[in-house]
């Protein structure tokens, strides 16, 4: 059986390296074709692996004494902390052919900067942090960008469309992912200057299945498989969705309390699980040579297990992630 080795930077998450290791080991138990390169404090990693009875023939440990935190400047951390788990993980991923991708739950900025530095594509394009979110009609929507590139020109949006489309082919084996462009109206005359320009570019791009503008109301409805926008707008889509869900769920809790209707709390649990997009996975850095996933800082074992499985899935569906974009 062919094996796929995923790199896990165990440092930088809110819940500590032990949780990261446990999550990775849970993925190891679930997927027999998976192997791990765990990067961080050797003693800590080793302890958790022994405790969990991990098959150490499938686990490699790379010791790193330094940690890049959210307090470090993303721009300089990579140079100042050369012995950090992130730099060592990225350097290994870049140089070793047997490594298929990386999971990290630390500083987003440092991860993006590092991925661009260590895993550049030939085009050297602007990076995108995509999120795959459950669509109302079923399946997933790949929202790209969600915050890696805040100021985008039309060419960058076109590029994001290509990246997102290639990703959805790899990830969900879609033949021809439907690409939508986030705008303030369905008509092609709607949009800001950049969006209108991007609309024309997307329309002209024969390699893409462009379905036109998508309004915020239907951002996550499932009318498209890839929703293209700049990082500012994508951040709004994610966060306004999150804020609205939180608000409505809080309302239901209040109504449950005031009416004493206990069955409302069952509903709250269902909705919280469904709309807690953070725990679903993480952001995928697109536009780099190998898949890199930024797991949420507050990730738990389950989400680390899931994103490790995503990397495996991507690697299996498309051995060479590069060259598609």
Q: Which is nearer to a second copy, 145 or 301 (CB)?
A: 145
* Contact of 148 with 136, CB cutoff 8 Å: no
* CB 301, min distance to a second copy, A: 25
Place of tokens 């692996």: 49
* CB 248, min distance to a second copy, A: 5
Q: Three-state SS for 292?
A: strand
Nearest Cα to Cα of residue 153 among 200, 99, 111, 216: 200
Cβ-count burial 109-144 (b if 16+ within 10 Å, e if not): bbbbbbbbebbebeeebbbbbbbbbebeeeebbbbb
Q: Which is nearer to a second copy, 56 or 150 (CB)?
A: 150
Tell me phi and psi for residue 138, to 5 degrees.
100, 160
* CB 92, min distance to a second copy, A: 31
* CB 107, min distance to a second copy, A: 14
* CB 240, min distance to a second copy, A: 4
Q: Which is nearer to a second copy, 90 or 198 (CB)?
A: 198
Nearest Cα to Cα of residue 289 among 130, 127, 175: 127
Residues that bind a second copy (CB under 8 A): 136, 147, 150-151, 182-184, 191-193, 195, 215-221, 230-233, 235-248, 250-252, 255, 261, 263-264, 267, 270-271, 274-275
Q: Which is nearer to a second copy, 107 or 121 (CB)?
A: 107
Nearest Cα to Cα of residue 86 among 66, 60, 100, 101: 66
Q: Which is nearer to a second copy, 29 or 261 (CB)?
A: 261
């Amino acid at each position: 059986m062919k094996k796929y080795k995923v790199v896990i930077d165990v440092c930088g998450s809110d819940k500590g390296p032990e949780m990261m290791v446990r999550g990775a080991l849970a993925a190891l138990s679930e997927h027999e074709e998976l192997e791990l390169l765990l990067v961080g404090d050797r003693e800590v990693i080793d302890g958790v692996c022994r405790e969990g009875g991990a098959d150490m023939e499938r686990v490699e440990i790379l010791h790193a004494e330094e940690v890049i935190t959210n307090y470090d400047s993303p721009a300089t951390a990579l140079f100042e902390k050369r012995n950090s788990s992130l730099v060592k993980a990225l350097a290994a991923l870049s140089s070793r052919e047997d490594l298929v991708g990386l999971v990290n739950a630390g500083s987003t900025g440092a991860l993006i900067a590092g991925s661009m530095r260590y895993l550049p594509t030939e085009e050297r394009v602007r990076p995108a942090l995509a999120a795959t979110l459950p669509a109302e009609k079923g399946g997933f929507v790949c929202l790209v960008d969600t915050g890696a590139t805040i100021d985008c020109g039309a060419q960058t949006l076109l590029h994001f469309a290509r990246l997102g489309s290639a990703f959805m082919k790899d990830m969900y084996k879609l033949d021809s992912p439907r690409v939508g462009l986030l705008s303030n109206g369905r008509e092609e005359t709607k949009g800001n200057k950049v969006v209108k320009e991007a609309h024309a570019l997307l329309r002209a791009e024969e390699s893409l299945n462009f379905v036109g503008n998508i309004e915020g109301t239907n951002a996550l409805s499932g009318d498209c498989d890839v929703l293209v926008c700049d990082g500012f707008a994508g951040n709004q889509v994610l966060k306004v969705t999150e804020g609205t869900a939180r608000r409505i769920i809080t309302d239901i809790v209040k109504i449950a309390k005031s009416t004493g209707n206990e069955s409302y709390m069952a509903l709250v649990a269902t909705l919280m699980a469904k709309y807690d997009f953070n725990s679903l996975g993480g952001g995928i850095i697109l536009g780099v040579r190998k898949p890199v996933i930024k797991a949420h800082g507050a990730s738990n074992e389950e989400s680390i297990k899931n994103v490790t499985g995503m990397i495996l899935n991507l690697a299996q569906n498309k051995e060479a992630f590069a060259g598609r974009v």
